[in-house]
Structure 1
Amino acid sequence: MDHSKILTQQKNYIASKESNSIQDRIELLKKLKSYIEAHEKEILDALYADFKKSHFEGYATELLVTYKEINLFIKKLKKWSKPKKVTPTLFNFPSSDYIYHQAWGQVLVIAPWNYPFQLAINPVLAAIACGNSVILKPSELTPHTAKILEQVVHAVFPKEIAYVIQGGVDTSTYLLEQKWDYIFFTGSVPVGKIVAKAAAEHLTPTTLELGGKNPCIVDETADIEIAAKRIVWGKLINAGQTCIAPDYILVQKKVKEKLVKLLIQEIEASYTKHVDQSPDYPRIVNEKNFERLAKMLSAEQLLYGGDINERDLYISPTLIDEPKLESASMKDEIFGPILPILSYTDFDEAEQIIHHYPHPLSLFIFSENTSRAKQWMKQFKFGGGIINDTIVHFVNDRLPFGGVGNSGVGQYHGKHSFETFTRKKPVLHRKTWIDLPFRYPPYENKLALLKRVKGWLT
């Protein structure tokens, strides 16, 4: 079907005042959940075909997160959608004041390849639950998952409510040239800037979920065994292709040697010494990303790993020793199973390294000194932070998820998704049974009285 016809149908539907009621939208969410449950194996098989991602990891990081979001919207949508009464100002007495939540209209969702199912379907279901129509552009780099996404969306939703348009850069360019009421993008910083520029042409509001170089600090008081276990898990899930994964470690010099030893032990305990044979270790998404990561290894001093197999798109878990800040592994976000380790002696030295880069999407610190850890959390700007773990803040829908500055614009998850895909619309209902003349001209002799009552009015 001609894409322009679909776009027009959705625009006409939004403008026609025929948008589904809240209960209709809840029924669509229930239908979506049932369809996903009935096709779990197909979805997990698609993720394996794109990444060699195990069914356990696929279920935990893609389906479970999606079920959680669907269930929350089904449970809370009616409550969230009710107009909220707010306290009126004395200046407008007598009146009743409300905040209504209104859908933006037609939404474009451009999804990434690293978690290609849940990072596509979750913003789509949230936008639809809020009363919007959606065009979803899945990533062409994960074609098997993109195909199943199209199957899911077209089976569950009428095309005037949601539709999938497949394609590469040309398709994205075409879609960004259109006028949207809202754009939701997840991906890299360079492409995020392109999206922001395109949105600015029409003054379209956006959410940009991007990334950055996420520091993981390990101080001398940390439980090093726990730190190693949780760092390895957070870094190597999805073979490191996770926007919130630790991008480099900053470890206090006194405990560096112990940490490195335990990181290696934990890698081998999780995936064996023959990581390429582990059924739980995914692969790099494509040749382009494989080559980018392989080049990083050629110029670095390795502490562990460095094995590659281009035919299998396999790169082993790799630890890099004290890279320079200008090196390939430290210049940009790694987005792979490569983990640079830098040491520091005091806070000032660590702070200088962290401030060398734009504000990250995540920051992690392992420390048993709670007051110090909290102070570090206050000191730096980042999207989301964790003390004594990695990446798990993502699963708490009560916490807003998003970046700051270079790592993103806007937040979502749970109620924060509802607030993203609706606009707060203020409404004031003024009563007519009294109409004080004070505000009307002429203003002669009224200024002195206004000054006397300003404390009541402000």
Structure 2
Amino acid sequence: MKDERMRALLKEQRDLFRSGATLPVSFRIQQLKRLYGAIKRHEEDIHAALREDLGKGAYEGFMCETGLVLSELSYMLRHIRKFAGQKTVHTPLAQFASHSFKLPVPYGNVLIMSPWNYPFLLTMDPLIDALAAGNTAILKPSAYSLATSKVIEEMIAECFPAEYVAVVTGRRKENAALLSQDFDFIFFTGSQMVGKEVLRHAAERLIPVVLELGGKSPCIVEAGADLKLAARRIVFGKFLNCGQTCVAPDHILCEMSIKDDLIKEIVAQIEKQFGHSPLDHADYGKIINKKHFD
């Protein structure tokens, strides 16, 4: 997408937001229901794309991506009126006879940049919350997960007009062009390296930012723990999505007295969950590309 079209798209979204069309809670509910229906219609396409990009089986695709997104949608639909509602607060004596309240208001035009490891979940969940809050949104999915990005682009185009929600695909050039625009809020999920660039660009324009950059995830096993249960949970968490999860167990801390027994249980659980030849297991995924494998 050329810079001129990107600026025009953002202007269209800004005009829509300033018109007040996205503010009524009834409108927000209608859009969330529309998104829910679109995901259900495209569920098989989404799972096929996740298998193509990441080797995910349909069960893992539902458990870790589409199922969680549908759950988030259901949660927002149940609670949106409460979240968006006016809340009365104490009135100071100096303002006696007046009425004080808090009213949540949307930021406006939101940019959502998502990663490749959970390409559907980490695009849709921030979008759901942005729409529930009354914003417009531009989505920038990862350039690495091409099949999933294509399904997202087609689904969003079918579901919403571009002046409300739009998808921009591409690589660094498109990222740089988006970050040079005056958004009202940026939500980024990805690496620390790219996160620093996002924050630098946002700081120049004083744009509020949420950065979800992963981190270290130690797993602590005490001597009195149920080692079979601990091993089962550790192996599930570590090898889910081929380990490409920001909160996957990063390292294990345990008492020396149980170290050898814990390792044996972990080995046994790997064989139980993935067989003697995990790389040949039909539901074991793949690393997204050679760069990230290395």
Q: Give your verdict on TM over 0.5.
A: yes
| Aligned-residue offset at 1:235 | 0.6
| Pair 1:259 & 2:270 matched | no
What displacement does 1:167 show?
0.5
Does the 8 Å CA contact 1:51/1:283 hold for their aligned counterparts? yes
SS in structure 2 at match of 1:101? coil
Q: What RMSD, in angstroms, separates the aligned Cα atoms of the two structures? A: 1.1
Give runs of aligned pairs for residues 441-456 of structure 1, distance below 5 A.
none
Q: Share of identical aligned residues, percent?
A: 39
Q: Is the 1:49–1:144 Cα contact (8 Å) retained in structure 2? A: yes
**Could you tell me how far 1:27 is from its partner in structure 2?**
1.1
Residue 78 of structure 2: aligned partner: 75
Contact kept? 2:88, 2:101, Cα under 8 Å:
yes
Residue 124 of structure 1 aligns with which residue? 127
DSSP-derived class of the 1:79 partner: helix
Bigger Cα Rg: 1
Q: Which residue of 1 aligns with 2:101?
A: 98
Match status 1:49 vs 2:52: yes
**What letter matches 1:158 in structure 2?**
P
Instruction: Give the conservation status (yes or no) of the 8 Å contact 2:47–2:58.
Output: yes
Q: Look up the match of 2:282.
A: 279
Deviations 1:337-358 (A, max 9, x none): xxxxxxxxxxxxxxxxxxxxxx
Matches within 5 A, 1:329-340: none
2:207 matches 1:182: no
Structure 2: distance between partners of 1:38 and 1:128: 20
Name the counterpart of 1:25. Answer: 28
Structure 1: distance between partners of 2:15 and 2:26: 22
Match of residue 39 from structure 1: 42
The TM-score, its normalising length taken from structure 2, stands at 0.96
Q: 1 or 2, which has the higher strand percentage?
A: 1
Give the CA deviation at 1:210.
0.8
Q: CA deviation at 1:20?
A: 5.0
- The answer for the alignment partner of 1:235 in structure 2 is 238
Structure 1 residues 12-57: Cα deviation after superposition (integer angstroms, max 9, x where no partner): 2122233352112211111111111111110000000001111100
Conserved in 2, the CA contact under 8 Å of 1:47 and 1:145? yes
Which residue does 1:12 correspond to in 2?
A: 15
- Indicate if the aligned counterparts of 1:108 and 1:180 stay in contact, CA closer than 8 A: yes
Aligned counterparts of 1:213 and 1:17: Cα–Cα separation in 2:
42
Which residues of structure 1 form unaligned runs of 5+?
Answer: 292-458
Whether the 8 Å CA contact 2:156–2:167 is kept in 1: the answer is yes
Give the secondary-structure state (helix, strand or coil) at the position aligned to 1:88.
coil
What SS does the corresponding residue of 2:104 show, helix, strand or coil? strand
Is the CA contact (8 Å cut-off) linking 1:128 and 1:161 kept in structure 2?
no
Structure 2 residue identity aligned to 1:35: A
Query: Would you say 1:162 and 2:165 are equivalent positions?
Result: yes
